[in-house]
Amino acid sequence: MIAYFDCFSGISGDMTLGALMDLGISPGWLAHHLKSTLGITGFDITVETVERGGIRGKKVDVIVTDSAERNYARIRSIIERSTLSGFAAQTSLAMFQKLAAAEAAIHGCPEDEVHFHELGGVDAIVDMVGTAVCIEQLGIEAVFSSRVALGSGMVQCAHGRLPVPAPATLKILSGIPVYGSDIACELTTPTGAAIIATLARAFEPVPDMVAGNAGYGAGRRDFPGQPNLLRIITGDPVGSISDDPVEVIETSIDDMNPEVFGFLTDKLFDAGALDVCLFPVYMKKGRPGTLLQVLCPRAKRTALSHMILTESSAAGLRHYPVGRQVLKRETVFVPTPFGEISARRMTAPDGSARIAPEFEDCKKVALSMNIPIREVYEAVIKNGAAFSRPGNDT
């Protein structure tokens, strides 16, 4: 299943959660799941149905009793030490990293020391980690987005009155298509910007899909003449093969410690790379080198290019668009002697299917039960033909 974020009135964390709950996520379930996996209990989630411009949507409020501010290092530690799934942890970490990098660049301080102020409380953690959890729970395999509406005017924050879009929002949305509005309000918040910049593979019109459901998340204000809503449309790609235009970034390196490649590869994946490959090559004067090739969504090309030029010894790089075709994929939960383990079910053009175990979940089970990961893989493959339920039914 794919999802299209229609950001005609911008995007914020509570609007995103509202739209995902309108698609079927229970607020009680989400609150319990976050408390049990993160170890944070000072909050609750309430939802009410409201009208915005004549359209009904879900308005989410995170009721916070734990008002402590946390810096990026502390938030990262909470997520890394949690029992979240691999996808939820990596996705929410990527969201917070975008916020930290933006704030650090604006205020001139190390990322780990960034205090998010109004973004560092429990409500921001619930918004971003909750979004990642809901995306996985609904079985959404890929996210696409419209251009992002920004609004106009001024906004009051911990640093005083700032122009809309706020500097952090603008920094996070670098390389992403946006547009202004005569609505004198902050339509897209830094939290919302981090969410969509992390999740979206591309920013384009609605992709070819068999439309399913639509969820509407309401903003706090009601604007005259325009519904203040985020709309998320879900559906299935047309056919078992879908076109997925992406970008290739590549550079040849012959003067870097090879150990750095492993570190850089991990950072690129965490930042949204679809694949990272290393090829041995011969460069000028017969010097052996390494070709670093990164496959990524077009919206993430700028950020990943900056990362390569910052983290490696490369003095330049190449990038170009390529066509890509992918099989229809969905998350399934396979019953095994070690409990349910997530896997990907891929459907071939002839209708046949195959199961690919999720490495991070298999790794977590292998480590917790002190068994070889090979045994976990084999159990998932063996039982995969009769998996219990598709991910969007959980």
Q: How many CB atoms lie within 10 A of CB 308?
A: 21
DSSP state of 393: G
pLDDT of residue 75: 87
Helix or strand (DSSP H, E) at 67:
none
Band the pLDDT of 149: cuts 50, 70, 90: very high
Q: If you average pLDDT over residues 133-156, what whole number do you get?
A: 86
Does residue 310 share a domain with residue 266? yes
For 84-97, the pLDDT digits (tens) are 888 888 899 989 88
pLDDT tens per residue across span 188-218: 999 999 999 999 988 888 887 888 999 999 9
Domain that holds residue 295: 246-323
Per-residue model confidence (pLDDT) at position 390 = 42
Instruction: Report pLDDT for 111.
Output: 63
How would residue 127 be classed by pLDDT, with cut points 50, 70 and 90? Answer: very high
Output the pTM of the full model. Answer: 0.65
359-371 burial string, b = 16+ CB within 10 Å, else e?
eebbebbbeeeee
pLDDT at 377: 93
Q: Does residue 165 have a cis peptide bond before it, meaning omega lies within 30 degrees of 0?
A: yes
Please identify, among 206, 237, 268, the residue that sits at the C-terminal boundary of a domain: 237
Name the domain count of the chain: 3
| Structural contact between residues 166 and 186, judged by C-beta atoms closer than 8 angstroms | yes
For position 291, what pLDDT does the model report? Answer: 96
For residue 282, the domain's CATH number is 3.30.70.1380
Q: Please state, rounded to an integer, the average pLDDT across all residues of the chain.
A: 86
Q: Judge if 80 and 197 occupy the same domain.
A: yes
pLDDT over threshold 60, residue 393 = no
Please indicate, yes or no, whether residues 313 and 341 belong to a single structural domain of this protein.
no
More confidently predicted of 99 and 329: 99
Q: What is the pLDDT of residue 298?
A: 78
Q: Where are the beta strands (DSSP E) in the chain?
A: 2-6, 43-52, 55-64, 142-145, 148-149, 154-157, 160-163, 178-179, 200-203, 209-218, 229-237, 241-243, 246-253, 275-282, 288-296, 318-322, 325-336, 339-347, 353-357, 389-390
